[in-house]
Amino acid sequence: MERKVGIIGAGISGLLACKYVLEMGFIPIVFEAKPGIGGLWNHTIKTTKLQTPKQAYQFSDFPWPSSVKEDFPDHNQVMEYIESYARHFDLLQYIKFNSRVTGIEYEGASDEDMASWDLWGGNGDPFSLQGKWNITVEDIHRKSTQVYQVEFVILCIGRFSEVPNIPEFPPNQGPEAFDGKVIHSMHYSSMDDVDAAKFIEGKRVTVVGIQKSALDIASECAMVNGVENPCTLLYRNAHWQLPHYFPWGVPLALLYFNRFAEFMIHKPGEGFMLSLLATLLSPLRWLQSKFIGSYIRWNLQLKKYNMIPKQSFNKDFSGCTLAITPENFFYRVEEGSIILKKSATFSFCKNGLMIDGDTAPLETDVVILATGYKGDEKLKNLFVSSTFQKYIFGSSNTTVPLYRECINPRIPQLAIIGYSESLANLYSFEMRCKWLAHLLKGTFKLPRIKEMEVDVLSWEKYMKDHSSEYYRRSCNSLLQIWYNDRLCKDMKCNPRRKKGFFKELFEPYGPMDYANL
């Protein structure tokens, strides 16, 4: 019997899941709420470009076309690349567009039975004769609802969409007190380029945030309005921003994306010798972070703009809170079309914003909240079962509990791709989809539930140690190779992908090293 696998989302991770599930002989059904593929790349702002060089952001079996010369392609080029991938592997026929999943419900064992299981799903297998998932899907155009039954579910809904993170304010100090317009960056990004330009043209705009979307939107406002109506960028804490990937002329990949770089870091599940090596090399890791930070401070003149972060470069790298500085960003700060303003808190008033420490309001016409998303809440809300909601959410002081960043040990016949982050998400998502496809095929079995939970806690400790308050992003950027080694060993593949001792130690790893797994 051909087994059906329901895939929710047709962004990067959804397309990859569809492709690899299909290759293993299963029937994928992809549900996508939008009319097209690509996820965030399908509705982003005009100036958005890749944050990582294209060599690190490509499908392992589908290289970038030679016509794309730029190292950091723009969002139109990225969309063309994604669409070409989907057409090349004939994935579009498996996608149901304009189909919003409103809930998923497990049909099988009771909560009491599942709580007593020693193995995932009761038998350690990804499929069960009794267990099924019911996926409730709303047809957005017809306003009708249909329930689909599948043997396995893959959630590919990502973190950065649908449920915006809106700051909370005391009564009468929130957006309701403001006479101007307040939107989230999500809504700004969903506008087409012409409408977005009209929305901000001739207006005093304040952008709240300091991550990539905030920087890009502030730059767009500055390009449209210039110094006549400068854009204010309001932020709480500065983060490191890279002007490019060659600090002091040294490729960043040589400093972070090879095995030697990872020897400097204490890793989940490491043995005594690796632990000792990481301790001995810790001064080198400190020097590495200072080396990069010194270049950025000099190149971007951060002291001049009071933008030197308190945390180390490695801390932002580990937490996936780095950003590539938009072109001419600090030139626009210098000319006055972007005004940087740091504040721990703010509130709304009739004419604008009251900034912590200021006596007069910051007068503004439009406020754009680039304050992130509640990805964990979006994930939780998909589940009908309150028990599964509790399992998937964890708690506010834990990471989302996922073994190999894919499987919740307590939720059977379900995987999550695209929630945990790295600095090259396509690369990470593809590795997880390959791993998951091998799991579904039966190449390997998962450990016992208790063993998986211990492993999850070890990775949580690592993320808390290295990422500080951003640990819940579950970013593995500092240990991409170590993490991939675990996946390769599970898939019964050789994790050493280079030819020669020195290449294995010092040559950067990338997507093409894991082709044909």
DSSP β-bridge partners for residue 28: 5
DSSP β-bridge partners for residue 74: 49
> Which residues have a Cβ under 8 Å from the Cβ of 110 and sit 6 or more positions away?
none
Where, residue-wise, is CATH 3.50.50.60 in the chain? 4-161+374-514, 177-369
The CA distance from 86 to 97, in Å, is 14
Element (H, E) at 401: none
Q: CA separation (Å) from 301 to 51, 333, 470?
A: 21, 11, 26
pLDDT digits (tens, 9 = 90+) for 47-97: 888 988 999 999 999 999 999 999 999 999 999 999 999 999 999 999 999
pTM: 0.95
pLDDT digits (tens, 9 = 90+) for 120-171: 999 999 999 889 999 999 999 999 999 999 999 999 998 887 888 999 999 9
Task: Assess contact for 472 and 376: CB atoms under 8 A.
Answer: yes
Task: Assess contact for 258 and 509: CB atoms under 8 A.
Answer: yes
> Which residues have a Cβ under 8 Å from the Cβ of 90 and sit 6 or more positions away?
none
Please give the distance of CA 145 from its chain centroid, rounded to a whole number. 30
What CATH number belongs to 177-369? 3.50.50.60
pLDDT score of 383 more than 70: yes
In the block, tokens 């002091």 appear at: 248
pLDDT score of 104 more than 90: yes
3-state SS, one letter per residue, for 290-310: HHHHHHHHHHHCCCCCCCCCC
pLDDT of residue 394: 78
- The DSSP-derived string for 195-221 is HHHHHHTTS-EEEE--SHHHHHHHHHH
What CATH number belongs to 4-161+374-514? 3.50.50.60
Task: Describe the crossing of helices 12-23 and 75-88 by its angle, rounded to 10 degrees.
Answer: 20
Residue 327 tokens, joined: 């072109």
Identify the CA nearest to 337 among candidates 346, 347, 321, 326. Answer: 326
Whole-angstrom Cα Rg for the chain: 23
Report the share of the chain in percent with pLDDT over 70: 100
pLDDT digits (tens, 9 = 90+) for 232-250: 999 999 999 999 999 999 9
